[in-house]
Amino acid sequence: MMDAETPTADDAQTPADQPSPPAVIHDTLDYAPPVSRLFSLKPEEPNSYRELGLRHEHASEMLRMLRDPRLIEASNWDDELHVLSHAALALSEMGQIEVLPALLDILKLVSGDTEEAADDDEPMPHLWASHHLPEIAARFGPKAIPYLLPSLEPDSGYSPIVQVFIINAMEAIASRWDKAGLMVGEIMKRFLARYEEYDVLTASDFAISLIRLGLWEENELVIRQGLEEGHLAGLRFFLPAFRRDGLIPDDWLVEYDLHIFGGDDSDDDEEDDQDDDLGTSPYLSPLAETDLRGSGTTPRKAAEKKKKAKRKQAAKSRRQNRKKK
């Protein structure tokens, strides 16, 4: 995998020199039409990049964009600059698989920043790259897998949060390409067997991916063992929703549920402690914020709603007890 290009002394900019509007950034860089037209696009534009006159002969310039340290830095603080996102999508539309190592290099470059952002409850840097990675990888199918595999190793240099998006990319390939399903499942199985080497977020997502792929039964022993040892704690957020959606049997691993989606209304102190722990870890918080139903419900929101209902019921009980006295 190629490393991001290092800026020369001529390219270096002091904070005072840093441009702000996209037009100024464009004026300071040596990108010519039609590639330069990517600077003026909004996130939802266009329907096809061929409309801009972009062709295969422009791929090298767009790859240079994705490795331009000035653009990588600028797009991290300028919410109105979407040129890198468009360059990546245009390259994938053209079938240029070299876009994958370029995206992965950006994500590796900001992996340390993703952990700091999680600690400070701030948006993840270069979130566009993480969101586009599954979509782009799925376009290339099994051919994308060799590009993704090294980044899932425990010593790869990618943060656990970024590794979750890479696992999602593997799952997207399996979902879109039938012949890739068993291959991805076997890969996830091998990674899951090494759960002790990973952060709880990455290890949990290996298990979550296998369940979504319908491979829970053949991996039951290692999943149960990982839950028992606490290495797959993030999976506990998902078990009730997976069971309700028919992805796992109704009686499977119920002893590990967090009971945050309704059901048992026990006031057990341990359950309250589990609810309070949702998302307190910077690594577990992305799972706590995941929309499990596609309707805006996340584990954190469900936990907060249930605790509010408990407090309301407790207050009602106290008022009834006072009346009886």
Please write the tens of the pLDDT for every residue from 75-129: 777 777 899 999 999 999 999 999 999 999 999 987 765 555 444 445 556 788 8
**Residue 94 domain flag:** yes
pLDDT the model gives residue 76: 73
Contact yes or no for 292/299 (Cβ under 8 A): yes
Domain containing 27: what range?
1-106
Q: Is residue 323 part of a domain?
A: no
- Judge whether 18 lies within some domain: yes
Exposed, middle or buried: residue 102 (CB in 10 Å: 0-12, 13-18, 19+)? buried
Summarize pLDDT for 1-20 with one digit per residue, the tens. Answer: 444 443 343 443 333 343 33
Tokens read off for 300:
């954190």
CA-derived radius of gyration, the chain: 23
Q: Give the separation between CA 80 and CA 194, rounded to whole angstroms.
A: 41
Low-confidence ranges of the chain (pLDDT < 50): 1-24, 117-121, 260-300, 303
Q: What pLDDT is attached to residue 9?
A: 35
Residue 210 included in any domain: no
How high is the pLDDT of residue 311? 64
DSSP 236: G
307 within domain boundaries? no
Q: What is the pLDDT of residue 11?
A: 41
Q: Amino acid identity of 135?
A: E
pLDDT at 253: 92
Q: CA of 114: how far to CAs of 81, 162, 181, 199, 322, in Å?
A: 20, 8, 30, 14, 51
pLDDT at 175: 93
How many structural domains are present in the chain? 1
Q: Is residue 19 part of a domain?
A: yes
The answer to the question of residue 8 being in a domain is yes
- Whether 242 is covered by a domain: the verdict is no
